[in-house]
Chain A
């Protein structure tokens, strides 16, 4: 029977949605699921973790030196906590990717990065070559499984649980050699294109830089990031760093809506891992309709105002 310890990600006050996704991954592995919440004054976060489905126990470890998510401080702590667990699971976020390998090295094992699918308790599928190939990875018998769950591949578990919360004592102290200075949030309210869970993109059909305001307005309404096709960028309608595609950004939002984008393979390469692809284009023959999950043959200049209305 597996004993899985999930390492919670949080900002000191709010549990990050990635933790709920780790729970789904852990459910697929099967076994007992506990969550460790490390920090300083994080009891509120622990309560949020305890509310997730299928969680047996939440271990809250409060200590000054754990306040900042420094791998140098958290790794040793977690290794101690996880002595009797068969699996230690973190999210494949920058926090998880920074932290988990350090734990794995201390535990003397390799890590399974970016689990997209679970075959069994010791067998997983993960992407390599930027998702152009999927491999099966098996861990050796008896070895501790230390892994990260690929966030885009898992739905968030529900929040109707009520796990017990226990206080864990911090076993170590600060590794003096690493010090947290600060965090500068992304400027502006619009989510960053690379990490946004919803993205709206515009193509050359927008016709002008001014018309791109339609895209920005709709994006702000639903809290989405904004992208563009290469044709729109080349035509000067928006900045270069908004380009999505083979020579721009490769993104995997849960929702991607493309307005007036034909869907040439160079663009599609940038969104092939998106959860749901929606395409609105006047041309019913546009290649984007071949990969879109939801397609609408219509004029974007009619559809966007209608969407603004319907979304209130």
Chain B
């Protein structure tokens, strides 16, 4: 089977993100961009499935301007076989992205689609679930373990109450959480090999998907400052304060 892995170009997780003074966005000037960390985990899982003999091809997909080809090449260097850029100069909201991915699915007919559980810029955590809905296929989100059994997969999910196990028939959409695996390092020679692997560019319009989204995101502000606190004299006063505030 083929596995499709979605990856997103995001501000590197080490960068200290700052809001622009005019509130129009986040300062990305000269800032390092990387593959979304959860997407790397998604790709690693796909590669392991292929290496175990349960898939023939791993395809990485990203939606964005030509800059995202840098991240697609990283995916190829990690071991993906092929890359697809859904070319769009405007950022896609999750529903449009899910629609675009569905079109790619119709072309490629994968048995499994693996995404990161959320992108560390928007923190939306929507695309995987939306894609599964539009595709009318199962979703297994926040997955920390996946075992393939022929035409189905047993997935362990990290939920608030603990670990939930579900079984999904393939094809399905899985979104991965941090504990799924630790992504491999890229070997230098593989960076060179990646330059020769196929990278197809498909303009968004060619997929018949429109950019528009129903959310208007505006006015970026830094997080609110915490109000000044108080000092207490002794333990008894501390306990009283906590009780007054209904905390214990």
Contacts and interface: CB of A to CB of B under 8 A. Distances in A.
- Does A touch B (CB under 8 Å) in the complex? yes
Interface residues of B, number: 76
A276 B128 CA distance: 34
Contacts of B233: 296
A294 B98 CA distance: 46
Contacts of B215: 110, 112, 137-140
Given A95-B160, A185-B162, A307 B234 contact: no
B123 A128 contact: yes
Interface in A61-107: 70-72, 75, 93-95, 97-106
Contact of B247 (A111, A255, A302): A255
Chain A binding surface, main DSSP class: mixed
Contacts of A248: none
Nearest to B98: A105
Contact of B248 (A128, A129, A138, A255): A255
Given A104-B95, A134-B220, A306-B235, A178 B167 contact: yes
Interface in B63-109: 93-95, 98
Interface stretch (A47-55, A230-238, A285-293): A285-293
Contact of B134 (A93, A105, A297, A306): A105
Interface string A196-238: 0010000000000000000000000010000000000000000
B54 interface: no
B124 A111 contact: yes
B7 interface: no
- Chain A's interface size range is 35 or more
Chain B binding surface, main DSSP class: mixed
Interface string B209-220: 000011111111
Interface of B: 11, 16-19, 26, 93-95, 98, 120-134, 137-142, 154, 157-169, 172, 213-224, 226-227, 229-239, 241-242, 245, 247-248
Interface of A: 11, 70-72, 75, 93-95, 97-106, 108-114, 127-140, 143, 175-186, 195, 198, 222, 254-255, 272-273, 275-278, 280, 289, 291-298, 302-303, 306-307, 310-311
21 contacts: A98-B142, A101-B126, A101-B130, A104-B126, A114-B123, A129-B11, A130-B123, A131-B223, A178-B167, A178-B168, A179-B166, A179-B167, A180-B166, A222-B248, A255-B247, A272-B223, A293-B230, A295-B229, A295-B232, A302-B235, A310-B239
7 tightest Cβ-Cβ pairs between the two chains A and B: A101-B129, A105-B130, A105-B133, A306-B235, A101-B126, A181-B165, A140-B214
